[in-house]
Amino acid sequence: MEFKKIGFIGLGLIGGSLAKSIKLKYPSTKMIAMASRESTLQAAYRDNVIENNHFPQMQDFSDCDVIFLCSPVKINVDYLEKLKDVLNPNCILSDVGSVKGDISSAVERLDLFSQFVGGHPMAGSEATGYENSNSHLLENAYYILTVTDAFPKEKLQYFSEFLQSLGCLTMIMNPQKHDFATACISHLPHIIAASLVNFVKDADDQNETLKTIAAGGFRDITRIASSSPVMWQHICSTNREEILKVFDLYQNSLYDFRDAIQNLDEQSIISLFAQAKDYRDNLPVKNTGALPAAFEIYLDIADETGGIATIATLLAKNNISIKNIGIVHNREFEQGVLRIEFYTKDAMDAAVIILKKDYVVHK
> pLDDT for 259-284, tens place per residue?
999 999 999 999 999 999 998 888 76
Indicate the SS3 state at residue 8.
strand
Beta carbons of 133 and 13 less than 8 angstroms apart: yes
Indicate the SS3 state at residue 53.
coil
CA neighbor of 243 nearest in space, from 192, 179, 177, 196:
179
pLDDT score for 332: 42
pLDDT score for 230: 82
20-50 pLDDT, tens digit per residue, is 999 999 999 999 999 999 999 999 999 999 9
Angle of helix 266-281 relative to helix 240-262, nearest 10 degrees, comes to: 140
The backbone torsions φ and ψ at residue 171, rounded to the nearest 5 degrees and listed phi first, read -145, 135
pLDDT score for 269: 95
What gap in Å lies between CA 124 and CA 186, rounded to an integer?
Answer: 11
CA neighbor of 328 nearest in space, from 314, 342, 339, 343:
339
Region for 262 from its dihedrals, namely left if φ exceeds 0, alpha if ψ lies in -120 to 50, beta otherwise: alpha
pLDDT score for 224: 81
| 84-89 contacts, C-beta under 8 A, 24 or more apart | 84/110, 84/112, 85/58, 86/58, 86/59, 86/61, 86/62, 87/61, 87/62, 87/115, 88/62, 88/63, 88/64, 89/115
Indicate the SS3 state at residue 114.
coil
Q: Which secondary-structure segment (H or E) carries 306? A: none
Residue 83 identity:
L
Beta carbons of 16 and 133 less than 8 angstroms apart: yes
C-alpha count within 13 angstroms, C-beta hemisphere, residue 16? 23
Q: Which CA distances in Å does 261 have to 195, 248, 257?
A: 22, 20, 6
293-318 pLDDT, tens digit per residue, is 678 888 877 667 788 888 999 999 99
CA neighbor of 293 nearest in space, from 314, 254, 323, 251:
323
Tell me the pTM: 0.70
68-110 pLDDT, tens digit per residue, is 999 988 889 999 999 999 999 999 999 998 889 889 999 999 9
Q: Residue 61 gets which letter from DSSP? A: G
| Radius of gyration from C-alpha coordinates of the chain | 23
H helices of the chain, in order, are 13-25, 38-46, 73-83, 101-109, 153-165, 175-182, 188-203, 209-213, 216-222, 229-238, 240-262, 266-281, 307-317, 345-355
Share of the chain above pLDDT 90, in %: 59
Q: Residue 97 gets which letter from DSSP? A: -
What gap in Å lies between CA 107 and CA 114, rounded to an integer?
Answer: 9
Beta carbons of 141 and 123 less than 8 angstroms apart: yes
What gap in Å lies between CA 57 and CA 31, rounded to an integer?
Answer: 14
Confidence at 245, pLDDT banded by 50, 70, 90: very high
132-151 pLDDT, tens digit per residue, is 898 888 888 889 999 888 89
pLDDT score for 284: 64
How large is the average pLDDT for residues 218-241? Answer: 84
pLDDT score for 23: 96
